Structure 1
């Protein structure tokens, strides 16, 4: 199957409408029935403005985070339009990919 890998880049301390943005994005993915969202915590990173972010020894609030979703073209358009309509500010990368299952697919797919 062809589609896109959408990767959102944010920080652990970011929120949207009072909810951590990571949890909010996962809830939106679930609401839209998007499968396979993965959250990746990083130790350090530079944001789109060149500012340094890191997970400190005692404080994880500024920890860089990625949320990745493998989606169809239709799902990508629907998700990005939804986020645009909500006026949420989050940096993303949309990469063309091929995805699928090797061997027998799970029964619930």
Structure 2
């Protein structure tokens, strides 16, 4: 199936509607019934302004955050239409991809194979 890998970039200290912006995007993805989303934190990065963002032992607020979604074109359309309604600004990358599963059934349904040593 064809779809898109959508990656949003923000920082831990950005908040919207009382939540960290990354968490808000994850909740929005759930509300829209999207296939899944992953929120990851980074160690260090910089944005279009050139300002360095990094995770420090005492201050995690400026830590870079990335939200990744592998979604269909229809899901992408719904997501971006909804985001356009909000007074927020998020940098993103949207790349065409192929989405699918390999193997038989759900991996959680499969027994753990025995390993001979």
By the TM > 0.5 criterion, same fold?
Answer: yes
- Hey, what does 1:34 align to over in structure 2? 34
SS at match of 1:53: strand
Question: In 2, Cα distance between the equivalents of 1:102 and 1:85?
Answer: 37
**Offset at residue 49 of structure 1 (A):** 1.7
- The question of 1:17 aligning with 2:21 is answered no
Cα deviations by residue, 1:19-71 (Å, 9 ceiling, x for unpaired) = 11111111100001112211111100011222110001211110001000000
Q: TM-score, normalized by length of structure 2?
A: 0.86
Give the conservation status (yes or no) of the 8 Å contact 2:30–2:36.
Answer: no
- Hey, what does 2:85 align to over in structure 1? 85
Which ranges in structure 2 are unaligned for 5 or more consecutive residues?
Answer: 108-117
Greater Rg by CA: 2
Which ranges in structure 1 are unaligned for 5 or more consecutive residues?
Answer: none
Question: In 2, Cα distance between the equivalents of 1:105 and 1:90?
Answer: 36
Q: TM-score, normalized by length of structure 1?
A: 0.92
- Hey, what does 1:66 align to over in structure 2? 66
SS at match of 1:58: coil
Give the conservation status (yes or no) of the 8 Å contact 2:12–2:63.
Answer: yes
**Offset at residue 99 of structure 1 (A):** 1.2
SS at match of 1:86: coil
Of 98-107 and 69-78, the range deviating more from structure 2 = 98-107
Could you say what the CA RMSD is over the residues aligned between the two structures, in angstroms?
Answer: 1.3
Matched residue count: 107
